[in-house]
Structures are given as structure tokens and as C-alpha cells.
Amino acid sequence: MTIEEIQNEIIDEFSMFEDWEERYQYMIDLGKDLPLIDEQYKTDDHIIKGCQSKVWVHADMQDDKVEFTADSDAIITKGIIAILIRVFSNQHPKDIINADMAFIDKIGLKEHLSPTRANGLVSMIKQLKMYAIAYQTQIK
Amino acid sequence: MFNVETIRKDFPILSREVNGKPLVYFDNAATSQTPQQVIDVIVDYYSNYNANIHRGVHSLSQEATDKYEQARQKIQAHFNAKHAHEIIFTSGTTHGINLVANGFSSLLTKGDEIIVSALEHHSNIVPWQMLCERTGASLKVIPMNQDGELVISEFDALLSEKTKLVFVNHISNALGTINPIEYIIKQAHLVGAAVLIDGAQSTPHIKPDVQALDVDFYVASAHKMCGPTGQGMLYGKEAWLKKLPPYQGGGEMIAEVTFEKTTYADLPHKFEAGTPNICGGIAFGAAVDYMNAIGFDTIASYEQELLEYATKNLQSIEGLTIYGTSKHKTSVISFNLDGIHPYDVGTILDKLGIAVRTGHHCAQPIMDFYSIPGTVRASFAFYNTKAEIDALVVGIKKAKMMLS
């Protein structure tokens, strides 16, 4: 699936929820299901700065596609990063770099997009795209 | 007779909704809300007599100067300072601390010692670290115990003739512990050390008497006392303020300037370079008037009632731990739910219209002591109610259910 298709799928899932409680409960459940980062990568080198909770991200490239794993010590943050990883993982670096992130607004999480928001969603997106930029340079 | 429902009508913000729910504002230790009486003073200033102060010959300037200096006298009376010129208007507590720290850089030498407490806010740690780097003095720390109290016997052991300065907050922002500053000031003076007390968290709850305390410096912020942001005060004993060099150069703080030499103005202007926050100073005076009209004894006893009620009800939630359990504390409860990150709890509470603070509260050493990433902090003011605490309890239970 392309990034856009995955985003549309997520928008569809979220459209079923009637209120914030259902949305957050879903994010919390996504957080619980997040494939955890390997313990060896839970170091300061892998921490995303700008979050009140700790977020670790690791990236790897296989067959010109980037794979992300992540973890956080806060469950809502984990849910948010789980959504981002679902969108970005197994995609070509250039598609990650060019991805439009307007879907965040469409799933009712716009409040988390403010750059001053303590969860640092903006920092997370930036960091994932930075990894993609780094891997893009490795593709001949 | 204190009636909280009447008091609440003074605060327009308390009737607004957040996320579709009535606002429950429990972040008072970060900033207090502003009553209409203070808002009116701010509007009146900009509507009727906004002018630059002190040197203007015209009537508006005179009027603004009078009001500004009257505000200084109100602050002087409130803190029972001996002279109005011992009250320096600042931009807030942090500014006051930096002003004193900077002043001491010319008075300290290598081998001198500065004592701070383990309960300090970052703003009361960093300036002293910088001061130590500049002067070669060293920083000593009074440790804390499990209840979040200072270990005073350790303070006694740290004191010596090398001690030149002692800096302690009157009340801890992260835990609400009231520190025994009377004793600390007395003991520090026995070895000839000066004492600065950070009153950012005490001044919203109690009325310190700087002469009775015999404290050398005391700092506070208006915005935690129902006043505006960007305004605070530094009290300093006259002798100390005369001894310290000016902090910033500029207009207002000079008596005479030639290219060869500048003579500094008298107190308090020596420390008030540039055009000050005129409206802020006047509104600060109005805020102090407002709180005194209610009465600090009334405020303290009502807030104590809220604290006891909240402590009892929060303790009944299974898996909730309260940090800071001193018998001497103000209306602050720092807590965590077992296995749940404070950030998650704060996010769910926000969705319910409840404003609390989460994180390390700019007091990382305290969080390190308890080996936690942070806490959820609910801090109560005299305009909060037991019904709001009930809403908090319901909110915490909901957060626990969703997050576990």
C-alpha cells in the first residue's frame, strides 16, 4: 500500500469513533500493540528530543525500503508513534520525505500538531523524515 | 465571611469551558488566575494614564509615576519592608535571583561556598552554578528525605565560615513542602552568610514579614499572586542593595553620565534600568490589595481544607502514590498512578477540562531522588472548590481505567 492508501485506511478507522474517548482508547490500544524497539536501541542516541515523555526510534533499510521500530514510556505517545510508523514503515525514503501529513487533522489529532505541544508529534515526524533523508542518500 | 462562590465570580476565566467541559483549574502553582479587579486596573492604565514614568514633566507621566510608586509602597507594606526603596521591581522571581547572583560575583572568591537545597526549582540552581563557574566558589546541597523535607541536620553540617550565601525556596514548587526558613536564616547569619529566599510558591498562600524573618533577600512573582505575568519583586535589605553593583545598565538607573564616569542612581532605581513594566507594577499592587482584602489567614485555612479533602480522596484511589508527604505543606499534590506515565494522565484530564501540570516541574533533582520521570501536580487556590476536587478524582479514575 502507498502512504496515501494507508492514511486513508486510518482515516476510515477513526471515522467510526463518536467521541474523543473512543479515539484515545483506540490510540492507547495501538500503543500497546506497537512492535517494540530492540532494547539495544533504547539509548540517548535514539531519543527524540522535544517530548515530555521519552520516545526512542530506530530505523533500518531493506530493499530500498525504510523500516521503523519505536517505543515510548507514555502510552498515548506510543499510540501516536504507532500510527506514524504504520504510515511510514516499509516505504521508499523519497515517499516518506514527500508525504503530506494532513491526515493527522482528519483523525482528530490536530491539537497534537502544535509545535509547542509537549508530546512532540512534530518532532517525531521530523525525526522519521530525517531518517528517510539519510537513507535516500544511500540509494544509488 | 468567606464564600467561595462569591469569590469565583471575580474570576471571569473560571466560567469558561475547555474541551466542552467546565474548566477545573488546578495549575495554580504555575500561574494563578486574574480577578476582574486586577484586570480593571490594567485596562484603566492603558485607557487613561499610560505614560513613561519618573522624568516626565507632563500630568500623565506624573500620574503614572504616582501610581507606580504607590504600588511599590503597597508591596513594601505587604512584606513589611522597612523602606519602599528596598523593594526592587523585577520581571519575576527568576530575574530577582539572577540580579542577586550577578551582584555576588564581585563579592565571592575561590574557596567560598554557596548552599542550596535539593528542593530547588531549576531557576534557583542554574544561576548559582553560573556564579560558581565565574567565581570559583563551590555549590553545596542540603539533601531531602523521603517525605520531601530538607534534612536540616545536614544543613547544620554544611554551614561554616566559608559559607557566603544560602538559597532556599520558602515552599517547594514540585511538592509543596514548607521549609523551615526561620531556622535556616538564623543559623546562616551565625556564620555571617547572606540568605535569599525564593518566595514564588509561598507568596500566593502566606504573607511573609521580611523584618521578622530578618531575611537578606526575598523574591516573588506577581503572576502567582493573582497579578500579571512579567512582573515580580526583589526585597533586599538596604545595606545589601547598596553593596551590590547594578545588574543592567541603561536609563533610569543613572544619576549622572559623562563618557568618563557614570554615577548610579539611588535605590531602588539603581536596579531598575530602562522603562519598567509600569502597568505590571501597578497591577501587582492591585493584586496584593485584592488578596489582602480576602485575608491571608482566610486563604490559608480554606486552602488547607482543600488540601486535606483532596489528599484523603486521592489516597483512596488504588495504585496512586503521593510525593511530598510533609506535615508542613501548602495546597499542592504531586502524584503518580502505578505503571502509568504522568503525561498520559495529564492528557486524559485535559480532555475532561481539568488543567494540571505534568513533568518534572523544573525540579529534576527531586524526580531523580524518587527515580520517577515526573509527576502529575494538582495545585489548589482559594477559588477552587471541593466539587472540583471530586471532578479530579473522577477524572483520575477514568484515566486509570483507560490507560491500564
pLDDT at residue B148 in the model: 94
B344 interaction partners in chain A (CB closer than 8 Å): 53, 74-77
Find how far residue B299's CA is from the centre of its chain. Answer: 17
pLDDT level of residue A116 (50, 70, 90 thresholds): low
| Closest Cα in chain B to A74 | B341
Contact B272, B253 (CB under 8 A): yes
Q: Are residues B189 and B121 in the same domain?
A: yes
pLDDT at residue A118 in the model: 53
The whole-angstrom separation of Cα B295 and Cα B245 is 37
Q: Which residues does A contribute to its contact with B (CB < 8 Å)?
A: 20-21, 24-25, 28, 52-54, 73-77, 118-119
The whole-angstrom separation of Cα B350 and Cα A110 is 15
pLDDT at residue B57 in the model: 86
Find how far residue B46's CA is from the centre of its chain. Answer: 27
Contact B344, A25 (CB under 8 A): no
B219: closest CA among B162, B284, B161, B169?
B169
Contact A55, A72 (CB under 8 A): yes
Q: Are residues B23 and B60 in the same domain?
A: no
Q: Are residues B137 and B235 in the same domain?
A: yes
Q: Is position B362 annotated as part of the catalytic site?
A: yes
Whether residue A117 has pLDDT greater than 70: no
pLDDT tens digits for range A41-50: 888 888 887 6
Angle at A86 between CA A102 and CA A57, to 5 degrees: 100
Q: Which residues does B contribute to its contact with A (CB < 8 Å)?
A: 19, 340-341, 343-344, 347-348, 351, 358-359, 373-374, 402-403
pLDDT at residue A122 in the model: 82
Number of domains within chain B: 2
Q: Which one of A20, A56, A75, A110 would you mutate to disrupt binding with B, by most B Cβ within 10 Å of its Cβ?
A: A75
pLDDT tens digits for range A57-100: 999 999 999 999 999 988 988 998 999 999 999 999 999 999 99
Domains present along chain A, CATH in parentheses:
3-136 (3.90.1010.10)
Contact A75, B340 (CB under 8 A): yes
Chain B closest-CA separation from residue A136 CA (Å): 34
Q: Are residues B192 and B248 in the same domain?
A: yes
Contact A17, A26 (CB under 8 A): yes
* Domain closes at, from B236, B271, B293: B293
* Domain closes at, from B270, B293, B316: B293
The whole-angstrom separation of Cα A77 and Cα B17 is 25
* Closest partner CB to B402 (pick from A24, A73, A74): A24
Are residues A118 and B359, on separate chains, in Cβ contact within 8 Å? yes
pLDDT tens digits for range B116-157: 999 888 877 888 899 999 999 999 999 999 999 999 999 999
Mean pLDDT, range A16-20, rounded to an integer: 91
Q: Are residues B352 and B222 in the same domain?
A: no
Give the CA distances from residue B389 to residues B312, B315, B348, B383, B392, in Å, rounded to whole numbers and listed in that order: 11, 13, 16, 12, 5
Q: Are residues B237 and B94 in the same domain?
A: yes
Q: Which three cell numbers stand for residue B185?
A: 536564616
Q: Which three cell numbers stand for residue A137?
A: 542518500
φ, ψ at B35 (rounded to 5°): -75, 155
Q: Are residues B138 and B247 in the same domain?
A: yes
Q: Exposure pattern of B90-116 as b/e (b: 16+ CB <10 Å)? A: bbbbbbbbbbbbbbbbeebeeebbbbb
The parts of chain B modelled with pLDDT lower than 50 are none
Q: Are residues B77 and B26 in the same domain?
A: no
pLDDT at residue A139 in the model: 83
3-class DSSP assignment, residue A55: strand
φ, ψ at B108 (rounded to 5°): -105, 150
Q: Are strands A65-72 and A55-62 parallel, antiparallel or unpaired?
A: antiparallel
pLDDT at residue B249 in the model: 73
* Closest partner CB to A24 (pick from B340, B341, B351): B351
Residues in chain A: 140
Contact B108, B163 (CB under 8 A): no
CATH number of the domain enclosing B57: 3.40.640.10
B232: closest CA among B283, B177, B289, B275?
B283
Q: Are residues B330 and B197 in the same domain?
A: no
Are residues B341 and A53, on separate chains, in Cβ contact within 8 Å? yes
Are residues A25 and B402, on separate chains, in Cβ contact within 8 Å? yes
Q: Are residues B205 and B334 in the same domain?
A: no
Q: Are residues B218 and B92 in the same domain?
A: yes
B210: closest CA among B218, B198, B220?
B218
Range of the domain at B338: 4-30+296-403
Query: Catalytic positions of A, please?
Result: 51
pLDDT at residue B234 in the model: 98
CATH number of the domain enclosing B367: 3.90.1150.10
Whether residue A124 has pLDDT greater than 80: yes
The whole-angstrom separation of Cα B67 and Cα B74 is 10
Indicate the average pLDDT of chain A: 87
3-class DSSP assignment, residue A64: coil
* Domain closes at, from B293, B318, B350: B293
Q: Give the ipTM of the model, two decimals please.
A: 0.88
Q: Which three cell numbers stand for residue B350?
A: 485535559
Q: Are residues B209 and B333 in the same domain?
A: no
Q: What is the 3-state secondary structure (H, E, C) of chain B?
A: CCCHHHHHCCCHHHHCEECCEECEECECCCCCCCCHHHHHHHHHHHHHHCCCCCCCCCHHHHHHHHHHHHHHHHHHHHHCCCCHHHEEEECCHHHHHHHHHHHHCCCCCCCCEEEEECCCCHHHCHHHHHHHHHHCCEEEEECECCCCCECHHHHHHHCCCCEEEEEEECECCCCCEECCHHHHHHHHHHCCCEEEEECCCCCCCCCCCHHHHCCCEEEEEHHHCCCCCCCEEEEECHHHHHHCCCCCCCCCCEEEECCCCEEECCCCHHHCCCCCCHHHHHHHHHHHHHHHHHCHHHHHHHHHHHHHHHHHHHHCCCCEEEECCCCCECCEEEEEECCCCHHHHHHHHHHCCEECEEECCCCHHHHHHHCCCCEEEEECCCCCCHHHHHHHHHHHHHHHHHHC
